[in-house]
Amino acid sequence: MRKTKAKTKTTHYDVAEHLRNPEEMAAYLEACFEEAHGDAAFIAKALGDIARAKGMTQVARDAGLSRESLYKALSGERSPGFDTILKVMDALGLKLHAAASHC
Q: What is the pTM of this model?
A: 0.84
**Helices 82-92 and 40-54: angle between axes, nearest 10 degrees:** 30
Q: What is the pLDDT of residue 75?
A: 92
Which burial class, exposed, middle or buried, applies to 43 when counting CB atoms under 10 A from its CB (0-12, 13-18, 19+)? Answer: buried
Q: Please state, in angstroms and rounded to a whole number, the distance separating the CA atoms of residues 2 and 56.
A: 51
Spans in the chain with pLDDT lower than 70 = 1-4, 103
Domain ranges of the chain: 43-94
Q: What is the pLDDT of residue 5?
A: 73
Q: What is the pLDDT of residues 60-83, one digit of tens each?
A: 999 999 999 999 999 989 889 999
- List % helix, strand, coil for the chain (3-state, nearest 5): 60, 0, 40
Q: How many residues does the chain have?
A: 103
